[in-house]
Amino acid sequence: MNDLSDGDDYDYDDYDDHMSEDGGSSDGDEYAFDSQGPSSSRQAQYQVFSEAELRERQQQALSAVTSVLSIDENDAARLLRKYKWDPNQANEEWFMNADSIRKEVGLSDHRAPPTRSKTAVCSICFDSHKAGSMCAAACGHLYCKNCWRSYAETAVNEGPSCLDLRCPTVGCGAAVTQGVLDEVLDKAHRTKYDRYALRSMVEDSRRLTWCPSPDCQHAIENLTDSGAVAIDVVCKCSHAFCFSCHEEAHRPVDCATVKRWLIKNSAESENLNWILAHTKQCPQCKRPIEKNQGCMHMTCSQCRHEFCWLCQGAWADHGERTGGFYACNRYESAQRAGEHDEEMFKREQARNALERYMHYYQRWAENDASRKTSRKAAQETLPEQLSQLSEWTATPTSQLNFISEAWDQVVDCRRILKWTYTYGYYTFGAVSDGTGDKDVAKDVLAQHQEFFEFNQGQAEGYLEKLHSMAEKNLGEFRETLIGLTDVTRTHFRKLVEELEKGLSVMLNDYMVAPASMEPEAPAPAITGDLKGEKSLTKPRTAGGKRTRATAKTEREAAPPAQARGGSPRAAAHDRARGQASDLEAQAGFWQCSSCTLANHDFSATACEVCETPRPAH
């Protein structure tokens, strides 16, 4: 596997693993992770459980309590349910005030002495029974078995609340013990009860949740301490989702923003905005009218009122003297006098807001659609293609993993790219219409926006390349694909990390000369990768201000593999190139980075077809 960890800020060893996870056989996959500081990474530790494993896990939690507090399992389960299956908290609270907790949960210290009399009246059926054939919870209140049975069965039929069954006696509240339940519940109800008990661990605990995929029975435990932060997890059924909100995995955007975005997409408000931006009301019946061509003489289709589109006055007052059918003197003079300003302004604003939203929404939707089709392709047609390919080229399918990886990468990157558009929409609202984050000054925000769009564009560029390449018949493009997969992955990972960190931090990091990180690269000048109108006013190295000329030419040069100013990306490129050249030697040809032709002549200095100089290595 490609190892990018040396000198890199972020440790992505295991990101690779679960990206190509497709129902592995090992149980309880764990991903140990080396995070450097709280904000450096949001990769989470988590564990996937099947039902059997879940029972084990529950046993563990129960033992953690029974061993410390010396109460039986049923009581321990009740206690844990109260404290959301956190054994530590349960134990702590117990030691602080055991008595009040006992009362609340229904556990009592003392067992009531057995009744002396031979018979007793069951206060549910009001019949007399032999005391020996009646049951009681720890409180000693006797009821006949039949009544216990109906009581318990009704409770089980009602739902998970049966787990907290208490003695029926008014004011008693003692928990119904395991013993009683064992005696009176029949097998069917017993199974139901146990099922609820198992489910309660997943549902009550904050650290566990069911996989939202419809046919999947797995549960996932979150092993990190992060609270409301969006965490992406992948279940064994290969469904990737956010642990906190159960929506599709959506790093770098947080859960609240995702909800807002999804609501906005479906909301009527956009319709209303459109109406405001593009239509005017009929002066008489107030219905919205959209004018798509023709002269200014409008006739409302519903109420037959005739009016001038420009000034909305009755048409009877118009004619040649007021400017004819295509202009309106009255409107123009009024406009000059400033009467229509506010309305125009509002209309303008609505139009701008709508356009902006459409810009982001279209791209979001496109990427979403693209992801869906690639995912479908990857799942349905790819295995077939791979087996065909392995026949033709006589390579075993295990060696063709890189293709599946590429596809998985495409699917995942499409998802991430899609959410970066959401990020952009909400973060940069203030630049145009004041809907964004108000803490950041407008010009700084504009700077951030440029930076963001640049990075996003870069990442998108790689993705497009990767996608188009993955769609071709891939026999000869193995190394390029591997290299590109790698590079794209890195780009997206960086993008996600940086966006989560926040753009100001990102800019600062970017500015700091990574001399300490890049022993291979030459001592860098500050990168001039931004469109440099507004210069970043805090150069941190002795290099001083970069040359704008170089900056621009560097940006404009398309091939990604060419050297750039010092940055982590440059180092990544270097390494990728190094690896690529090893593979080239193996395969027997080198690929032109501009036209992708397979050149067989290793001694050539330029591509046969397009004459692009071969990159040095």
Partner 1 sequence: MASKSRLLKEARECAKAPADLGISLQPDERNIHTWRGHIRGPSGTPFEGGTFELTLSVPQNYPLFPPSVRFKTKIFHPNVHFKTGEICLDILKGAWTPAWTLLAVCQAISALMADPAPDSPLNCDAGNLLRGGDLRGYASMARCYTLDLASAPARQLS
Strand order in the sheet with 208-210: 46-49, 219-222, 208-210
CA distance 435 to 285: 33
Which residues lie across from 443 on neighbouring strands? none
Contact flag: residue 151 with partner 1 (CB under 8 A): yes
CA distance 498 to 63: 42
- State the number of CA atoms in the 13 A half-sphere of 379 facing the CB: 11
Nearer to partner 1, 49 or 151 (CB): 151
Nearer to partner 1, 126 or 271 (CB): 126
Among residue numbers 280 through 309, which ones bind partner 1 (CB under 8 A)?
Answer: none
Among 154, 379, 547, 553, binds partner 1 (CB under 8 A): 154
Nearer to partner 1, 126 or 586 (CB): 126
Smallest distance from the beta carbon of 267 to partner 1, in angstroms?
33
Stretch (H or E) spanning 582: helix 568-587
Contact flag: residue 147 with partner 1 (CB under 8 A): yes
Residues near 11 by Cβ (< 8 Å), separated by ≥ 6?
Answer: 5, 33, 34, 35, 41
Nearer to partner 1, 154 or 269 (CB): 154
Smallest distance from the beta carbon of 173 to partner 1, in angstroms?
10
Stretch (H or E) spanning 24: none
Select from 400, 399, 395, 368 the least CA-distant residue to 382: 400
Where residue 168 falls (left for φ over 0; alpha for ψ -120 to 50; beta otherwise) is alpha
The count of residues interacting with partner 1 (CB under 8 A) is 13
Among 168, 212, 502, 615, binds partner 1 (CB under 8 A): 168
Smallest distance from the beta carbon of 97 to partner 1, in angstroms?
24
Give me 39's structure tokens. Answer: 């904000």
3-state percent helix, strand, coil for the chain, nearest multiple of 5: 50, 10, 40
Smallest distance from the beta carbon of 101 to partner 1, in angstroms?
20
Residues near 294 by Cβ (< 8 Å), separated by ≥ 6?
Answer: none
Contact flag: residue 115 with partner 1 (CB under 8 A): no
Smallest distance from the beta carbon of 153 to partner 1, in angstroms?
9
Contact segment (CB under 8 A) with partner 1 among 20-28, 146-154, 304-312, 429-437 equals 146-154
Contact flag: residue 125 with partner 1 (CB under 8 A): yes
> For the chain, what's the residue count?
617
Smallest distance from the beta carbon of 129 to partner 1, in angstroms?
14
Contact flag: residue 123 with partner 1 (CB under 8 A): yes
Select from 304, 276, 302 the least CA-distant residue to 290: 276
Do the Cβ atoms of 511 and 538 come closer than 8 Å?
A: yes
Contact segment (CB under 8 A) with partner 1 among 15-23, 147-155, 316-324, 479-487 equals 147-155
Nearer to partner 1, 37 or 171 (CB): 171
Contact segment (CB under 8 A) with partner 1 among 161-169, 456-464, 514-522, 570-578 equals 161-169
Select from 496, 484, 427, 426 the least CA-distant residue to 456: 496
Instruction: Sketch the per residue contact string, 526 through 555, with partner 1: x for CB under 8 A, - otherwise.
Output: ------------------------------
Nearer to partner 1, 153 or 412 (CB): 153
Contact segment (CB under 8 A) with partner 1 among 166-174, 390-398, 464-472, 543-551 equals 166-174
Collapsed DSSP state (helix, strand, coil) of residue 47 = strand
Select from 582, 604, 578, 600 the least CA-distant residue to 591: 600
Give me the amino acid identity at 54: L
Cα-based angle 439, 440, 441 (whole degrees, multiple of 5): 120
Smallest distance from the beta carbon of 353 to partner 1, in angstroms?
41
Smallest distance from the beta carbon of 150 to partner 1, in angstroms?
6
Contact flag: residue 150 with partner 1 (CB under 8 A): yes
Nearer to partner 1, 135 or 296 (CB): 135
Give me 273's structure tokens. Answer: 């905005």
Residue 127: count of CB within 10 angstroms of its CB:
11
Select from 161, 235, 231, 170 the least CA-distant residue to 193: 161
CA distance 266 to 197: 38
Asked if the peptide bond before residue 615 counts as cis, ω within 30 degrees of 0, the response is no
CA distance 24 to 31: 14
Contact segment (CB under 8 A) with partner 1 among 37-45, 98-106, 122-130, 200-208 equals 122-130
Pick the catalytic residue: 125, 285, 295, 610? 295
Among residue numbers 469 through 498, which ones bind partner 1 (CB under 8 A)?
Answer: none
- State the number of CA atoms in the 13 A half-sphere of 92 facing the CB: 6
Nearer to partner 1, 160 or 539 (CB): 160
Q: Cα(first)–Cα(last) distance of the chain, in Å?
A: 21
Instruction: Sketch the per residue contact string, 169 through 208, with partner 1: x for CB under 8 A, - otherwise.
Output: xx--------------------------------------
Contact flag: residue 599 with partner 1 (CB under 8 A): no
Nearer to partner 1, 151 or 423 (CB): 151
Contact flag: residue 160 with partner 1 (CB under 8 A): no
Among 124, 300, 377, 587, binds partner 1 (CB under 8 A): 124
295 catalytic per annotation: yes
Measure Cα distances from 119 to 111, 132, 268, 317 in Å: 20, 8, 70, 103
Stretch (H or E) spanning 427: helix 401-427
Contact segment (CB under 8 A) with partner 1 among 39-47, 144-152, 181-189, 370-378 equals 144-152
Collapsed DSSP state (helix, strand, coil) of residue 209 = strand
Select from 501, 614, 605 the least CA-distant residue to 561: 614
Contact segment (CB under 8 A) with partner 1 among 106-114, 118-126, 358-366, 486-494 equals 118-126
Smallest distance from the beta carbon of 124 to partner 1, in angstroms?
4
Contact segment (CB under 8 A) with partner 1 among 119-127, 421-429, 453-461, 583-591 equals 119-127
Contact flag: residue 40 with partner 1 (CB under 8 A): no
Nearer to partner 1, 60 or 154 (CB): 154
CA distance 593 to 591: 6
Nearer to partner 1, 102 or 166 (CB): 166
Active-site residue set: 295
Residues in touch with partner 1 (CB under 8 A):
123-127, 147, 150-151, 154, 166, 168-170
